[in-house]
Structures are given as structure tokens and as C-alpha cells.
Structure 1
Amino acid sequence: MKQYWNEVQPIDAFTVAMNGILHQYDNKIITLLYQPLIGPICLTLYNTLLYMVEEGKSLSEEWNHYHLMNAFDLNLEEIYHARLKLEGIGLLKTFIQTNNESRSFIYELQPPLSAEQFFTDGMLNIYLYQKLGQTHFIKLKKSFTNKKLDLNEFSEVTRSFQDVFTSLGVNTLTQSEGHIASIPEHGEEYNHRQKPNSITIDGNDFDFDLLLVGLSEFMIPRKLFTPAIKDAIAKLAFLYSINAVDMKKIVLQSLTPDQKINVDDLRKNARDWYQMENESRLPQLVDRIQPVIHRENDTKIETKEDKLVSYLETVSPRQLLIDLSDGGEPAKSDLQAVEDIMFQQKLHPGVTNVLIHYVMLKTDMKLSKNYLEKIASHWSRKKIKTVKSAMDLAKSEHRQYQEWAITKKDSTQRRNKPIRTEKLPDWFVSQEDSNQKEVQLQTEDLEEKRRRLEAIQRKYQKNGGEKGGEN
């Protein structure tokens, strides 16, 4: 993964292009529907790029990124991340040209989905519903709807063109010249309203082959899996984290009596499955694993720490808890605690993984919510974004975190019970502090959980090099 400064520099030039005409109504859609999902910085970046293009034009003058930094009073990293969010949600396309040592970009603004497309998208509307809540969501939906015009008791009497106008004839020469004169000059095109592109999930992460193996041709003919159906399945699999085995049941439930797969039923059944698995909660718009832009382990993986970093960057917090439980489903209270600190403290999944790894070793292999929140709040204030920086901070602040973990009960237990020692994880032991490899634990019934944690770590130290190449 390349750091942002390898992707864009302040001196790099850029030009803004318009992919179609945007209307005032589009601004309402972006502000009220898109902004809750992407945030105000992204909205400001979109509008700023928009206003750089003169009204009636489709291309702006050339600027450099220093201008954006000064206009926003933000650093380039924040602007870059906002740009990526606009790209991901379909509001921006980016093109680059490199000449010798200079680079120039074209930022092509895309029109938003219509309100109807957004509210029937099947993914964006679910994220928005979860973000806003039912009351606000329904009120917002009503602001984009109107009462249908009832024409049942009316008859149309509109006249056609030929009913109103009469042609006096046009000679051949004038007709030919008129057609030629109407053609845009070379390299130009008429201003137009571009059809917005829906959000698409490429489906590379979903195993369609396994799905089809579980569904015989007799059960469901392959011709029913049209591009539209496959796109819906890929989107639902991403939205609700559904694997191929569970998706097979959902597809079968969505089969109509006339042997067709109904997309609406597919969505409803997928949502019902998710809520049954997750106590009626709906999914939120979060990165399931560490975002690529915040991964650092892109070099050759050589050390044990490199391998562990690669593992923590490419696994979700939920999967980490499963691995630490030897394949068992995490407790709902643990998942809720992790979810709360991720959203309240805005921690990335990889950083959350480091926190889980550290806290479980410090609190008898249990996730103490108060301890999690205290450290998470500290990391949030420090603006920790990467796995490596979280590890480094845990090392440097270890003594402070130990003090936070000590309670009167711990002290009493420590006086009354024999003490034994246990190694810290390899990533925690700094080079200068390599001789300090043991911390005190209090009860011997943790031995099995400790071995499980070390086994998981050894597993990914062995295979981490393979995971590190994934995006």
C-alpha cells in the first residue's frame, strides 16, 4: 500500500471536469442523503470542486493542491481521504497523467443518484436508515416525495406537433447545411444531463462458484442468474456479510412460483437473515477490515512483528475475536463493546485489533469495556490511524495503561494469591526493553486461554506473509 504522499503532492496540478449538468435538486440530494454517510469535509470538497467550474462550462482552469489546502485549512492527507470517499460512493472519478517528474489530475464530478434510485438502492438506503434512525429517515423520505397526480377521471386532449404546425418545405441545400452546422466542433460536445451510475460491488469477495455448486441446475436454472441478479447478490453479500452457504438458502427463499428470482424478496430475505443473526440490528457503514490507505505493511515481510501487523491489518475485529476463541462465536457483549468503541472513538478496525490484543492480555483474557474505552479514548485523541502506530503507542504508554488496569480488587488478589509470569506478545517487546519480557498474572485457570492466544499468533506469524499481499 502506498502512503498518500506517494499518491498526491501539494504541487500536483488538477483540473475539474463535469460529467453532465448538475441542478439545484442534486445539491439537496447530496446534502441530505449523501452527507450523513460521507461527512461534511467530503461535501465541502465536492462543492468546492463544483464551484471551480464556471456556470455553463464543463471544464475548470488548472489549479494545484496547495489551493485546496489553503481553501479548506486542512492538510493534504485529510483532503486525499475525502477524495477517496467521494470516489467510493460514486460522486467522483479521478484520472492521472504523469510527465517526467510532474503529475496532473482530472477530477470528474459525477451526478448523484436520484432520490428514487437512492431510496431503492438496497445498500445506501440501509446504511442511511441505520445512521439516522427510523423517525428521521421517514421524515427525510417524505421530503423527496409528492402526492401522485390522479388522472383517472380526466381525458388527454393534448395536440401533436403536426396538429399545430405546417411545414412549407426546406430546399436540399439548406437542409444539409443545417445538419452540418448543428454538429459540435471537433473535441467538443453539448452540455447534457449525465445518467448517474449506481454503486456497484464487483463481487470478487463473494464465491459465486460455491453458491452455484450448492444450487443444482434442476433447483435453479443458471439462466436465472442474470447480471442484475448477480449484482444484487454481491451487494447483499457485502452489506450483510453473507457467505455462499447462507446465501444459497436466501436465494431459494426468493424463488417465485414461476421460477424467477425476485430481487425485492432477495433483499427482504437477506435483511431478515441478518437481523435474526444480529438481534434485529441493521449493518452500519464501516470498514470491515483496516482500510487500504491506512495499511503500512507493504514491504517484504521478514520479522515476526511484520507478520503480526499483516494479520491485524487484514482481519476484522469480529474475526479476531473468533480466532482468539478457537473458532467459537464471540459473546454478544464483547461484540457490542468493540462496536461501541469503534464508532464512538472513530477507531479503524486494525487499530481496534491491536487494542483487543493488548487489553485481553492485560485483563485476564476478558474484554473489560471500561478499560477498552479508556485506552480507545486516548488513542482517538492521539489520532492513531495505523496498526504500527497503535503498537508503538502501547509500548510507550505501557506504564500508564498498567496504572489504569490496577484496581483495589487486583491488589487484594495479588497479595493473597501466588504470582506467576507470562510473556508479552512479540510486538510489544521493544528493542531497548527486550529483557523485560514478563508481566504478572493472577490465576492459573487462564493457561488454556493463554495457549490459544499464542497459538493464533504463531499461526499468523507463519502465514502472515501470504496475507500481507492482499488488499
Structure 2
Amino acid sequence: MNRIGKILPIEGYWVEFQGNLPTDYAKSLTHLYQPLIGMAAIILYQTLLHERELQADKQIPQTHHTLMNYLNLPLDEIYVARRKLEGIGLLKTYELNSSDNRVFTYVLKPAFSPAQFLKDPMLSQLLYHHIGREKYAHLEQHYAVNKQPVDGNNITASFQDVFQTITPDSLPKEEQKQIQQGVNLDNVDFTSVEHSLKQRMIPTKKVLTAYNRKVITQMMLLYELETYEIEKAILWALTEENRLHINEFKAACFDLFQSKNQEKSVRLVEKATKEVHKEEEPVGSTKEEQLIYHLEHISPKQLLEDLSSGHHASEQDLRLIGDIMTSQGLPAPVMNVLIHYVLLQTNMKLSKNYLSKIASHWSRANLKTAKEAMAFAKKEVTNYKNSKKSTRKTQSKEVVPDWFKQQKKHQKQEVAATKENKVDEVQEQKEIEMLLKQYSSYNK
């Protein structure tokens, strides 16, 4: 990752602290947080913690050059350490641009006490994978037992911006809205899960409590699971009273992770393959590229609502899509292309039999992204058209002179090829523009 220029030594920073530190926070930092984020991040946290006292009577911000001298670290390593603190939930960063310079505000979050840390489903599970069963059991046995807004835009990195839980070569293809203690988590759409439970007559409120939703979100993020896999794990972990058994649920998620990733271990790995920011919509790209971008980044539910001018997607359609995603294991972007394809082929109606048949075919093709699915769909349409042409030729057996047949054949082929190519291109562009129009009109 290119980190040069992310922060300049001359740029200033303020330090604020929100919350109250537990008395045994230092033990948590040393034995629980440090195995996950490393020594440099812990030293940065402790330095900033005491730095706020030095800034109490100052009128101007401290420079990052001073921080480099305190830590005896180059600025790029300080930047990496800062992002790890952000990802693990110990720091929020705000950036304020002025005509003269940039100033950062580092808002420190209180570290968990050892007991709080070990009760957090995600952090405790990560620590378990990092240090092993024996050391984790030893720590567990040993340790068993509101905020002012700041100036600037919140540019804090979330957990998934900074870390991945498996190494890049084993990765399968494929915002914070409130202040909270612990790891920052993006919101998960539970619509599909709710429909799956309702279909089986399981009380959703009993299963999807606020705490359970948090655990489900954390496990989904930790093990990089799809929605249909989370649904399986929930069903496996339900008790006879339709309550979610948390330990069994976590074990089920881990089993699913291992089955997908050939027994790979779960560890925090800093992302280094691309810049850490939200992917922007392609500018100046073709209509098709814009459509692929949208299909890659929205949920099937949102796609259906966008195509119906913002009206709610019907429960029947959502249940149908949820069932197909679960049974065929299609990722959401591929499912979006499938919905788009079927709607165009069936005059904007979702046909269960047609949808299921194509989904089964696409599942065997092991499609992972919207781009792959779009290319595959185009190829299928081309093959079908070529097949129809071949069939028509074998059926036509008129007795005509050879010279006449060859002449007419040559003329027809030239005209038909030109006409068909034009028709196909125009039709395809119309379809893409129609979908983009419906999408953009709803999202203005």
C-alpha cells in the first residue's frame, strides 16, 4: 500500500478522549489487544493518551513531527499503527481542512477491561485464533470475573477497511453511523434472514435480538460469510425453544469458513492490495460498466425496489430470491445480474421455474462477481442465437439452382449480419440505459 503523503510531518493534531478508562485497561492492551494489532499501535495509543494532558493548556495543535520524535518511528509506520487502532475500535480520526493546513483530531476510545474484551464475541474469537486454545484458556481463566461531537469529517477506518481475516491468496472473490465502543461494524441487511426464519415459522424477534444481531454481524465479517451461509449457521444453532445458542453459532460459522478455505487459519492481516477508501462509481465509463458497478454494490432487495420506482419489493419475490441464493449459493452481485437477466427475458416478471433453472446453471459455472455473470449471460444469449440459426438452416430444404442459392446466401448473410449486429447493440444499450435510468431516478 502506498502510504506516502497520507500525513505530513508539519500537519497538526489534537487529542481528545471519550469515555472512562477501566482501571485494568493496561492489562487488556498488553495481553489482549497487542497480539491482534501489534506493539507499535499499542505504543501510539498510550502516547496519545498521555499527550492529551500536555495539550490541555495549548492554543495550537501539536505537529506529527513531534509524534515521530516521541515514538522514534517514521511517519508511514505511525499511519499504519493509527489505522489499526481505528480498525480495532480504539480511535476515531477527524480531518479538518483549512486554507493553511490540515489538522487531525484523534478521539481516543476507552479500551475494554479484560472481562469486557473476553465477553465481546468478535474480539475474543479473534484472540482465540491468534494465540491458540491453551494460551486463550489461561487468559480467560485469569481474567474471568457519552460524547461531544468534534469538528471535521469522520474519516475513521472501519475494521474491514484495515484488516482481512485470511491471506490474500486464499481469499474467495468477491460506515459507521453511531459512536460505539469496540470494533466498528457496517450495518447488515437482515431482510433475507428474517424471510428465511418466517418461512420456517420461527419467531424472528426471539432469534434476532439486538445482541444476536451484533454477534451475527461480527461472525459474518470475521469469517467473510455470505448471507445464505449465515442463515445455515443460524438454523444449525437454534435450540428447541427457538433461541440462538451463541457458542454453537460461532462454531458453525467457523466450520463454514474452514470448508470454504481449505482449513486456513483465521488471523488479522493488514490489507495491502489496494488503497483503503470506498470504491467510487466509475466516471466516464460505458453504460455497461456503470450498470455492472451498481449490480456489484446493491442488494437484490434494493435492485427490485429500484426497478419498481422505489416501491417495496414483494415478500413473495424476496422469499423466492432468498431461497435460490441459499440453495444455489449465489453471491449477491451474481444474483443481481440473474434478476436483471430474467426480468429482461420475461417482460419484467420473475418466473420461479425460469429463475431456478438459470440459477442452477450459473451455480455450476462458479460465478463470483457481477462482471463475470454479465459476461456469462451475454455468452449464453449468443450461443442460443447461433443455435437457432443452425436449426433454421437444417429445416430449410428447398430445391433451387446452386448458383442462385450461393448468390442469395451471400447477399443475405451480409445484410443479416449487419442488421442483426446493429439491432443487438441498440437493443442492449436500450436495456442497459433503461435499468440505469430507473436506478438513478430512485437514488437522486
User: What's the TM-score once normalised by structure 2's chain length?
Assistant: 0.50
Write 1 or 2 for the structure with the bigger share of helix. Answer: 2
User: What's the TM-score once normalised by structure 1's chain length?
Assistant: 0.47
